[in-house]
Amino acid sequence: TFLMQKEGWIEVICGGMFSGKSEELIRRIRRARIAKLNVQAFKPAIDDRYHHEAIASHNGLMADAKAIQTAGEILNYVSEETDVIAIDEVQFFDMDIVSICQKLADQGKRVICAGLDQDFRGKPFGPTPFLLAVAEHVTKLQAICVKCGGPASRTQRLINGRPAKEDDPVIQVGADEQYEARCRHCHEVLR
């Protein structure tokens, strides 16, 4: 067979919470496995809302994944035989994730990253914007705004039922927090 293009590239699936990022990532993993490709999936150990060793979507889909502490660990698990590397919740990784994804894509791997592009304040989130800049393919998904029913690009953070303040830490372990999908116009950040 001849190839129309050289192998190895970066795909990023981004958007707010509930926009279907994990669902889309799981779909791409499943289709790669149908194509008999060797897929390895990773997620940050920090995110254990659903399952330690799986990518889980809000509508109940699952795909097995290795929970890791640092981006660098990916290189320990990826082998010659790996065709596809899938990474969920990529916004929680350190900046090393960007050069690691570049290196893997240069080596001929298909790298698929899914993650939040904006934090609860509507600001670019961690390494995601840098991955968007270097990716060959970008998919930006929108959820449904729970206030107005329009397309939702943002994630509303609520603490004890009230919009979070701008200076509240991005990750607050143990607080009574809720997140909902909202559009630009319905999104609120207290100052």
Residue 143 CB, nearest approach to ligand ADP (Å): 3
Q: Select from 27, 140, 147, 158 the one that contacts Zn ion (CB under 5 A).
A: 147
24, 89, 177, 180: the active-site residue: 89
What is the spatial distance between Cα 122 and Cα 127, in angstroms, rounded to a whole number?
15
Q: In the beta sheet, which residues pair with residue 179?
A: 157
Residue with tokens 């990532």: 25
Query: Closest approach of Cβ 129 to Zn ion, in Å?
Result: 23
CA–CA distance, 165 with 77 (Å, rounded to integer): 39
Q: How far is the CB of 23 from Zn ion (least distance, A)?
A: 21
Q: Does 19 bind ligand ADP (CB under 6 A)?
A: yes
| Residue 20 vs 122, nearer CB to ligand ADP | 20
Rg (CA), the chain: 17
- Look up 89 and say whether it is catalytic: yes
Q: Does 92 bind ligand ADP (CB under 6 A)?
A: no
For 8-77, give the secondary structure using H, E and C. CEEEEEEECCCCCHHHHHHHHHHHHHHCCCCEEEEEECCCCCCCCCEEECCCCCEEECEEECCHHHHHHH
Sign of CA dihedral 189, 156, 140, 22: positive
Which partner from the list ligand ADP, Zn ion, none does 147 bind, CB cut-off 5 to 8 Å by kind?
A: Zn ion
Segment lying near ligand ADP (by CB under 6 A), choices 13-21, 62-70, 124-132, 162-170: 13-21
CB of 107 to ligand ADP, least distance (A): 27
Catalytic residues: 89
Residues engaged in binding ligand ADP (CB under 6 A): 15, 17-23, 57-59, 143-144, 146, 181
Residues engaged in binding Zn ion (CB under 5 A): 145, 147-148, 150, 183, 186
